[in-house]
Structure 1
Amino acid sequence: MHHTSLIATIVAGLGLAFVFGAIANRLKLPVLVGYLLAGVLVGPFTPGYVADQELAPQLAEIGVILLMFGVGLHFSLKDLMAVKNIAIPGAVVQIGAATVMGLGLAMALGWGVGAGVVFGLALSVASTVVLLRALQERRLIETGRGKIAVGWLIVEDLAMVLALVLLPALSGVMGGEAPTAQGGAHAFLGGGVMAAFAITIGKVVAFVAFMLIVGRRVIPWILHRIAHTGSRELFRLAVLAIALGVAFGSAALFGVSFALGAFFAGMIMAESELSQQAANDTLPLRDAFAVLFFVSIGMLFDPMVLIREPVAVLATLAIIVVGKSIAALVIVLAFRRPMSTALTISVSLAQIGEFSFILAGLGVSLKLLPDDGRDLVLAGAILSILLNPLLFAWLDRILPGMIAKEAQNATGAAGEEPAMTAAAQPHALLIGYGRVGKAVAEGLKSKKMPLVVIEDDVERADELRKAGFETIGGNAVKPEVLLKAGLDKATHLFVAVPNPFEAARIIEQARAANPQCEIVARAYTDADVTLLKQMGATHALIGEEEIAKGMLARAPRKKPPAQAHH
C-alpha cells in the first residue's frame, strides 16, 4: 500500500472528516470539532489505521497556504478603519493579557520564557472560522457589535502574521533553535541573533515592497486578461496558481513563510473587482484542504494529555474561556460601549483555532515549545470550540432583555426622548436598518415622507438618531415597541428583517393593530412569500424576481417589425 499512501491519506482524512463533521453538525456543534476528532482517530496516538506521517504535514501546508490566502482575500482595511478606535487597542491589549496569562502557566509548568511567550500567543487568537460562522448564524455581522468583533479579529490575525515572521529570527534568543547561517550578509552584520533578525526584517520588507510595486500591477492584470477569455476553468486555475505560486516563491526567493506569501497574494487580489469571483471559485478547494489541515492537526494530538495533565488542560481552558473573555469585557467597557457589545465580543473570542495550531506547530519545529505545549493548545482548542455554542446559547437568552434595558437607559440618560413628530401623523414605518433597510430609508427620505425606524441594535439606533431619523430602539416583535412607533397612524410598514419567522410575527401583530396599513416585506423563497402573505403582508418581495422584473421592464414593448425578404 506504500505506493497509494497519498490516496489513502486523503481518502481517510476526508472520509472520516465528513462522518465526524456530520455528527458534530447534528449535535449543533461546529464541524471543525468533527475534523479534529477525525484526525485524532487516524493519528499515531490511537489504535487502528494511521495516516502517512510525512504526507499529512505537506497536505496541511497546502491547507495553511489556502487558509491564509482566504484570510487575505477577505481582509478589509475599510472594515478595520471603521472600528479602529476600539478594535486596534482592544485587540493589542487583549493579546498582551492572554500572552501574560499563558506565560504564567508555562512558568508554573517549568517551561522557559520563550515557550511561555509562544504558548500565550497561541492562546490569544480566536478562530476566524468559528467566530464568523457564529456571528453569521445570528445576523450579527452587519451590527455595530459584529463589526467590532470582526475588526478585532482582523487585528489579531495581523498580529499572528507578524509573529509567524519574527519567531524564526528570534528563536535563538528565546531559548529555541538558533537561525541557520544567513551567508555573507549575516557575517557582514557581525553574526548573532540581531543580525538574523535584521536580515529577516530586510527580507520581509523586500517582499512587501515587491508585492506592492510589482504584485499590485501584475496580479490584477493577469486576472483581467484571463477573465476576458471567458473560461471559468482557466480563471479558477489562474487564482490557484497565483496563490500557491506567490506562497512558494516568497519562501524560495525571500525566505519568508508560506503563510505570509499567501496572505499577501490574497490581499493584493482583494483589491481587484474580480476578488469576489476569485473567492467563490476557489472556495471548494480551500474548504477541502482546510479540512485536511484540521485533520492533520488532530493527528498531532495525544488524547492521553487529558489524563496525564488534567490540571494543565483545565488551566489552559480557563485562560481561553474565562481569562480572555474577562480581559475583552473590561477593555470594551473601558471604551464606554454597552454591556451587550462587551458580552458579544467576549463570547466571540472565547475560543482558539487555526492560527493557534500554526503558531504551536512553528514553536515545536523551532524547539521553542515542548510537545506537551502543543497538546495543551490542541486540547484547549477542541474544548473551547465545544463550549462556544453553549456560551452563545446563553448569550442569545439574555441579550434581548439587555438590549431593551440599554435602550431605555440611553433614553433616560438623554433626558426626555426626542419628540416623535413623524409618529403622530401619517407616516412610513421601517423595521430593520441593514443593507436593505438602509436603501429603503434613504429612498423614503429623498421623497420627504415622514419616517420612523425601529432598530434593535443599540449602537446602530444611536447612529440613526444622529443621522436625523426618528428611531425607536427595541425589538419590533414586542407590541409595545410597534405602538410606540405610531403603528396606528402608519400608512406603510416596511419589514426589512432577514429572518422570515421573525418578520411573520411582526406582520401578524401589525395587521391586527392596523388593518388598513400597506405592509411590504422582504423574502428569500416562495415558501417565505406564502408565509408572510398568510400573516397579512400586502407584498412580499424576492430579490431575484425583482431583478427579473427590472430586466423585463427594459425589454422592447412590442415585437420588432420583421425584416423584408427579397
Structure 2
Amino acid sequence: MEHSTPLITTIAGGLVLAFIFGLIANRLRISPLVGYLIAGIVAGKHTPGFVADEVLANQLAEVGVILLMFGVGLHFSLKDLLSVKKIAIPGAITQIAVATLLGMGLAYGLGWDLINGIVFGLCLSTASTVVLLRALEERQLIESQRGKIAIGWLIVEDLVMVLALVLLPAITGIIQQGHSDFASLAISLGITLGKVVAFIVLMIVVGRRVVPWLLAKSASTGSNELFTLSVLAIAMGIAYGSVQLFGASFALGAFFAGMVLNESELSHRAAQNTLPLRDAFAVLFFVSVGMLFEPMTLLEQPLAVMATLVIIVLGKSIAAFLIVRLFGHSKRTALTISASLAQIGEFAFILATMGIALGVMDKEGQSLILAGAILSILLNPLVFNLIGKYLNKTETIEDQIIEEVVEEEVAQVPVDMCNHVILVGYGRVGSILGSRLHDRDIPLVVVENSLSRVEMLRERDISTVLGNAGNHEMMSLARLDCARCLLVTTPNGYEAGEIVAYARAQRPDLMIIARAHYDDEVEYISERGANHVIMGEREIAQSMLEELHLDMSLNPNKAEGCPI
C-alpha cells in the first residue's frame, strides 16, 4: 500500500543529501554550508533525480530561522541590544538605502520600471539571519562587541523588511490607481510601527516576568521532556503570535522570546536542550535555499548575475565598512561587519515572492535574486577567511594585544607565569573549580570563549585567555609548555578529547583531568591521553556510598591527583 509522505520524504532526503555533501565539503576543507546548498540544488526541481517538496522545505527552513534566533536571544540581553543602538540603527538604515539605490541602478540598466527596481534593491539590502549567525558562531564572535553590533544591525534590517512587506501592497495600490494617497500610506506605516512597538514593549514589560516563571514551573515538574517542550512552545508560540497579532516577523518574535528567557537562571539549560533541533533545522534552511536555484540562470544572464553579486558582496560591504569606520570603530570591527552582511537570504525571497504576486516584479528579477543569494552564501566563508588572512598580515602585535577602547572588547593579555593550572571552560563546573583554586592562591589561567565571563574573571585578577581551547594558539597563550596541570571542563566530550590529544602531544608529562557525561566519552577522552576522566553520575554515586560509610569504590583505578 502506497503512502503519500511528502513531509517525511523532504526531511529524510534533505538531511541525507546534506550529510553526504556536507561531509564531502568538510573533506575538501571548505565550509559544510557549501555542501548543504549543493544538496538543495540536487534535491530541487531544476536538476534530475530526487525532488523534494519546495513548499514544505521552505516551511521547515522557517522553523530553523525561529530556533536560531531564539538561541541568539538566549545569549543576548536587552542591555546588549541597547548598547549598540547608536551604530546599529543609523548604520543598518544607511546600508539598506545604499544597497537599494545600487539595485535600482542595475534595474534601470536592465530596462525595468521604478517600482520593480525598488523591490529588487530592497531584496539585495538585507542579510540572511542563518548565514550571519553561523559565521559568528564558528568564529566565537556572538558575544564579542563585533558580534553584538552585527546582530543589532540584523535586528534593525528585519524591522525595516517587516515595514517593507506591510507597505508594499499599499504603495503598489497607490501606483496602480494612478493617484497619490499619502494619508493612507501614513496610516499604514503608523499602524505597522505601533504594532511592532507594542510587541516589543509587551515582551520587555510582561514577557520578562511571565516567560521565566513559566520555564521555572515546567522545570519544577522534574520532567526533562516537559521542560524541553516548554522551551519549544515558548519559542514557537511567541514567534507565531508576533506575526499573527502584531505583524512582526518570525525571526524578530523568536529573538525577543529568547531575550526575555535570558532573564531566567534556566536559560543555559534551555539553550542546551534545543541545540540539536536548531542545528538540524538550520541545515534544512540551506537545503531549501539551494532548491530554489535554477542553474540555467548563470548561462542565460551571466553579466546580470555578476552585477547582482557585486552589489551584494562588494557594494553592501563597502557601505557597511565606511559606516562603521565613520562611527569610530576599528578596522577589524568594520571588516567583520562587512563580511557578515556580504550575503542575502530569507527576507529577499519573501519580498521577491510578494513582488511577483503584486505584479511589480517579474521572474527575471527573482532568478537574479536567487542566483545572488546562492553565490553570496557560497562565497561568504571565503570572504571571512580572506579578511582573517589580511588582518593577520597587516595587524601588528600591538593591534592584536592592546585593548581597543572604541571596541570595548577584552584583548588577549600575555600570560607571564609557569607551574600553573590551566582551566578550560568556566561554566557551572569550571567556575567551582576556578573559585576554589583561586581562593587557595594556586596559580591559574582560564581559557574561556565567553566575553562576559572573561571580563568578570579579569575583574577578579584571574589570568584569562579569550578564545576556544581547540585553537592551538589559545593553548600556547595559556603557556601549556610550562603548566603544572590541565583541567578540561567543557561539556562536549568529543571536543574535550581533541583538546586533550593536542595537550598530550605537546606535553607527555602533563597531568590532565577532564570531564565527561557518557561512558563512550570517558573512553574517547582516555584514549587521547587524559590521566583521569570524571563522569558526573559515577562521582555522585560514589559520594552517596561514602555518606553510607561503605568502602565500595566505583572507580578503583583513579589516577594520582594533580599535585597542587
**Deviation per CA, 1:493-544, whole angstroms, max 9, x where unpaired?**
9877624633666689965xxxxxx656565646644653664576556467
Maintained 8 Å contact 1:429/1:493: no
Query: Which one of 150, 154, 157 corresponds to residue 153 of structure 1?
Result: 150
Q: Mark the CA change 1:120 to 1:371 in structure 2 (over 3 Å): closer, same or farther.
A: same
Which protein has the larger Cα radius of gyration, Structure 1 or Structure 2? 1
Amino acid at match of 2:156: A
Q: Which amino acid aligns with 1:170?
A: L
Residue from 335, 339, 344 that aligns with 2:331: 339
Query: Is 1:101–1:319's contact at 8 Å kept on the other side of the alignment?
Result: yes
Q: Is the 8 A contact 1:128 1:153 kept in 2?
A: no
Q: Which residue does the alignment assign to 1:17?
A: 18
> Which stretch of the first structure deviates more once superposed, 230-239 or 277-286?
277-286
Q: Distance in 1 between matches of 2:417 and 2:72?
A: 44
How far residue 124 of structure 1 moved from its aligned partner, in angstroms, is: 3.0
Structure 1: tracts of 5 or more residues without a match: 180-188, 412-421, 470-491, 512-517
Verify the 8 A CA contact 1:13 1:39 in the aligned structure 2: yes
Equivalent in the alignment of 1:172: 169
Instruction: State the AA in 2 paired with 1:42.
Output: A
Rate the CA distance shift 1:541–1:340 in 2: closer, same or farther, 3 A: farther
Cα distance change, pair 374–37 in 1 and its aligned pair in 2 (3 A): farther
CA distance in 1, matches of 2:259, 2:464: 38
Say whether the 8 Å CA contact 1:432–1:496 is kept in structure 2.
no
- Give the conservation status (yes or no) of the 8 Å contact 1:106–1:119: yes
Q: Equivalent residue of 2:5, what SS?
A: helix
CA contact (8 A) 2:424 2:487 kept: no
Residue from 246, 261, 267 that aligns with 2:259: 267
Moved more, 10-19 or 319-328: 10-19
1:291 deviates by: 3.4
Between the aligned partners of 2:326 and 2:63, the Cα distance in structure 1 is 41
Residues 300 and 134 of structure 1: CA distance in aligned 2, closer, same or farther (over 3 Å)? closer
Aligned: 1:314 with 2:285? no
Distance 1:308 1:499, change over 3 A: same
Q: Is the 8 A contact 1:324 1:350 kept in 2?
A: yes
Residue 26 of structure 1, CA deviation: 2.9
Find the aligned partners of 1:431 and 1:375 in 2 and give their Cα distance: 57
Q: What is the DSSP-based 3-state SS (H/G/I as helix, E as strand, rest coil) of the residue aligned with 1:352?
A: coil
Change (3 A) 1:246 1:37: same
Q: Is the 8 A contact 1:171 1:178 kept in 2?
A: no
Give the secondary-structure state (helix, strand or coil) at the position aligned to 2:192. Answer: helix
User: Structure 2 vs 1, CA of residues 400 and 430 (structure 1 numbering), >3 Å: closer, same or farther?
Assistant: farther
Whichever residue aligns with residue 502 of structure 1, its letter is E
- Amino acid across the alignment from 2:38: L
CA 1:85 to 1:522, structure 2 compared with 1: closer, same or farther past 3 Å? farther
Partners in 1 of 2:194 and 2:85 — Cα distance? 28
Which shifted more, 539-548 or 105-114? 539-548
1:376-404, CA deviations, whole angstroms, 9 ceiling, x for partnerless residues? 22212221222233333333333234232
Shift of 1:229: 0.6
Structure 1 CA distance for aligned equivalents of residues 545 and 3 of structure 2: 69
Partner of 1:532: 503
Structure 2 CA distance for aligned equivalents of residues 107 and 429 of structure 1: 68
Letter in 1 for 2:164: L
Greater Cα shift, 49-58 or 279-288 = 49-58
The 1-side partners of 2:334 and 2:312 are apart by: 16
TM superposition shift of 1:557:
12
1:502 paired to 2:503: no
Looking at structure 2, the residues matched to 509 and 267 of structure 1 have their Cα atoms a distance apart, in angstroms, of 37
Report the 3-state secondary structure (helix = DSSP H, G, I; strand = E; otherwise coil) of the residue aligned with 1:3: coil
Change (3 A) 1:345 1:280: same
Measured against aligned partners, the alpha-carbon deviations of 1:432-473 in whole angstroms (never above 9, x if no partner) come to 99986999999999999999999xxxx99xx99x9999xxxx
Aligned to 1:97: 98
Q: Distance in 1 between matches of 2:383 and 2:502?
A: 32
Greater shift, 33-42 or 49-58, is seen at 49-58
Q: 1:177–1:367: 8 Å Cα contact kept in structure 2?
A: no
TM-score, L = length of structure 1: 0.70
Q: Which amino acid aligns with 1:34?
A: G
Is the 8 Å Cα contact of residues 433 and 496 (structure 1) preserved in structure 2?
no
Match of residue 379 from structure 1: 371
Question: Displacement of 1:406 after TM fit?
Answer: 5.0
| Residues 88, 153 of structure 2: 8 Å contact kept | no
Task: Return the alpha-carbon distance in structure 1 between the equivalents of residues 546 and 444 of structure 2.
Answer: 40
Aligned equivalents of 1:13, 1:232: Cα separation in 2? 29
Cα 1:436/1:84, change in 2 over 3 Å: farther
Q: Paired residues, what number?
A: 501
CA contact (8 A) 1:317 1:380 kept: yes
Matches of 1:493 and 1:53, distance apart in 2: 52
Cα distance change on mapping 1:558 and 1:89 into 2, 3 Å: same
1:372–1:178 distance in 2 versus 1, CA, 3 Å: same
User: Of 240, 261, 269, which aligns to 1:277?
Assistant: 269
Q: How does 1:100-249 map to 2 (within 5 A)?
A: 100-141=101-142, 147-175=144-172, 192-249=184-241
Name the CA shift for 1:278/1:318 in 2 (closer, same or farther; >3 Å). same
CA distance in 2, matches of 1:250, 1:139: 30
Distance 1:85 1:197 in 2: 23
Q: Matches of 1:504 and 1:74 in 2, distance apart?
A: 25
